[in-house]
Amino acid sequence: MRLLLAALACLALSVSVKGKPAAIDAAAITAPAYPPLLSQFGFFAGGADRPSPALLPYALRTPLFTDYAEKQRFLYLPPGASYRIASDGRLQFPVGSALIKSFGYHDAAGRLKIIETRLLLHRADGWVALPYVWKDDGSDAELKLGGARKPVAFKKPDGTARAINYAVPNKNQCKQCHSSKDQLMPVGPVWSNLLFQSQKAEAAFALRAVTPLPPRPLEAKWDDPKSGTLEARARAYLRVNCGHCHKPSGSASNSGLFYDDHQGSPASLGIGKRPVAAGRGAGNFDFAIDPGHPERSILIYRMKSTDPGIAMPELGRASVHDEGIALLEQWIRAMPPE
């Protein structure tokens, strides 16, 4: 999180290599080709730690969990273009925009080593998702349409050492989380979930809005008890980590579980709801959420698993998010048993 906050401070910095600012190639964003090297876009000036001053850094109050990776997020808007905020709080970007998200881990010396950078490019026919994997020397990143596997070692927030085989998704897997009504769409940038380091940073972001920014109802932070109720924090966690698929227009709509902003019955959250299919993913339990009993809830069972046939979410992790699960267990335990 400290790294994300520091990235926001970069907004006012001029990043350059040998005195020359990095130039972003707007044509590469909108052209039908897939550049083989990330450097061809000009988003970074020779390394992942040197973003172009044309990028707007941002962070999220509750980010998606991805194997405890540190993330850096940037937005690029074409010169003179602006974004809108829809009635549901989602940011809408013009053609020629790009969302850039880098993933990395700190080494033994405390230096952040970026493994991959994912791009969402807004072209005339819609959004395109492209994964780029950085070379070992950090000089550039190569397009990996088929994804990649990278062994990584890191420490969890409690200091526990972990080693995993980190998965970079392939181009088609990106569609699983980013599809809505058969259209590829951004899922992270939501007005209530954006995080800014200061009023100055937020003001800089506001300059690119089509109309004055509306009041921002700050969403509860999953890891901050002071930010909201236990339920609000649990719902925020589920929205970010599960809501992109578990929504009426998502790939998991047939489950009947909706963790986006859908307002339905408690059963739509899984409370007292039986699974639509009783395969091994149900773990011989009866309900997605068994009120008062996290140990008997399918939701917790699947989130604690790393078995590809059981684990939820299905993509984006090779490890268990112990802290997030602890929050959901606390939430379920506090529910009156039925």
Q: pLDDT tens across 145-183, in order? A: 998 999 999 999 999 999 999 999 887 766 666 666 667
Closest CA to 254 of 232, 236, 276: 276
Cβ-contact 271, 291 below 8 angstroms: yes
Residue 79 has pLDDT above 60, yes or no: yes
Report percent pLDDT > 70 for the chain: 89
The letter for the amino acid at 288 is A
What pLDDT sits at residue 174? 67
Bond preceding residue 169 cis, omega within 30 of 0? no
Distance CA 234, CA 61 (A): 13
**What confidence tens digit (pLDDT) does each residue in 284-313 have?**
899 999 999 999 999 999 999 999 889 988
Coil, strand or helix at 234: helix
What pLDDT sits at residue 213? 83
What is the dihedral sign for C-alpha 174, 178, 182, 185? negative
Tokens linked to 163: 């080693």
Mean pLDDT of 93-108: 94
In terms of Cβ atoms closer than 10 Å to its own Cβ (0-12, 13-18, 19+), residue 113 is: middle
What pLDDT sits at residue 278? 65
Domain ranges of the chain: 2-206, 225-333
Distance CA 107, CA 235 (A): 33
Residue 9 has pLDDT above 50, yes or no: no
What pLDDT sits at residue 13? 35
What pLDDT sits at residue 7? 39
What pLDDT sits at residue 2? 37
What pLDDT sits at residue 203? 83
Distance between alpha carbon 266 and the CA centroid of its chain, in Å? 26
